[in-house]
Amino acid sequence: MRRYYTRACNFYFGNQSKILVNKKKSIPLHQIKEISFDQIEIITRKTKKRISINQIKQLPKTLKKKINLDIKKIKSKKKNFSNFNFKKIPNILGVLNLTPDSFSDGGKFNKKSKGISHAINLYKDGASLVDVGGESTRPGSKAVNKKQEWNRINKILKLIVKKIPISLDTRKSGIMENGIRMGVKLINDVSGLSYDPKTINVLKKYKIPLVIQHSVGTPENMQKNPKYKNELLDIYDYFEDKINLLRSKGIKHNNIILDPGIGFGKNLKHNMSLIRDISIFHSLGFPILVGNSRKRFIKDISKKNDSKTRIGGTMASSIYLLMQGIQILRIHDVNEVIQGIKVFNEMVKN
């Protein structure tokens, strides 16, 4: 049986969006009138067809039912959790790497005073949470043991977790449990809960919100010629399967975020395909997080204009993702990106 997917597209913003929503000419994303769409793309493994929302009623009965169910998820209101406010787009997840070898800031903040100061500054600059990690998962990196990872983050985590909202970036169930007991508000597992078989039991026990990221293989090998039949639809199916697995294991809450994993087992073509059509994931019904900050795709595109911080490429991709209704961006340079978002929002007000 042919499988159909629904992608919201042709978005409007600000007052123009509110006017169209009030006239029922566009559909608000997650009940936010300031961002709406008036077209959808109906996608299969072999075809794509873009239609206006007014043409949905002309579709065959079975397909129309499927599309309307997807649109119900796309326009459903998202409940706030983990200090994220889903009445606004986007939220910012600040990055604090307490590692010696992360791809862009390894060794920069892993001293206690610098780490604490940076975390607090990220939050003051406007991050909803700060994502703390003690193990680099950049391409080619090797795993570190639980004791080493915990030693990197323990002291700083203890000092900041009561002051600012913290997300914990880890693949290990033991680290997760330690962090949850300290008071972290979100678990961010880049392996999609696949690295440690005990992870799901910890998440079930504490009923904590979580990020499910898509990745291929492990950081050591994930960039060795990654292949997909269709990266966009393969990853969509992966998320559906993963959600079904969580439900079967007893995780019933909806405090789940989906991250397609830019750069994790993807080449430039895969990354660009995901970013261009990322609004397809709205029809899964969960908030979407994208880690676009300082990623290699910026270097691959800019070539000789590459820089260490890659703020230009981060800002351009952040605005594009904002225009697709992405709810959370994982960002190193929080102040600069929020500045850009404020300017964008002012420009589309009228």
Q: What is the pLDDT of residues 253-262, one digit of tens each?
A: 999 999 999 9
pLDDT at 103: 47
Alpha carbon distances (Å) from 140 to 131, 244, 285, 303:
21, 31, 33, 21
What value does the mean pLDDT of the chain take? 93
pLDDT at 140: 66
Where in the sequence numbering do the catalytic residues fall?
Answer: 295, 330
- Given a contact cutoff of 8 angstroms between Cβ atoms, the answer to whether 232 and 267 are in contact is no
Spell out where the chain has E strands. Answer: 5-13, 27-29, 32-43, 48-52, 91-97, 129-133, 166-169, 186-189, 210-213, 256-259, 289-290, 328-331
For the four alpha carbons of 210, 214, 217 and 221, in that order, the dihedral sign comes to negative
For the four alpha carbons of 215, 218, 220 and 226, in that order, the dihedral sign comes to negative
Alpha helices in 249-310 (DSSP H): 268-276, 296-302
Provide the CATH number for the domain formed by 91-347 in this structure: 3.20.20.20
Q: Which SS3 state, helix, strand or coil, does residue 88 take? A: coil
Q: 107 falls in which pLDDT band (50, 70, 90)?
A: very low
**Spatial separation of the C-alpha atoms in residues 274 and 264, rounded to whole Å:** 12
Q: 232 falls in which pLDDT band (50, 70, 90)?
A: very high
Task: Express as a percent the part of the chain with pLDDT over 70.
Answer: 94
Residue 303 scores a pLDDT above 70: yes
pTM value is 0.94
pLDDT at 136: 81
Least confident of 64-78, 141-155, 173-187, 236-250: 141-155
pLDDT, one tens digit per residue, over 182-221 is: 999 999 999 999 999 999 999 999 999 999 999 987 667 6
- The residue ranges of every structural domain in the chain are 5-75, 91-347
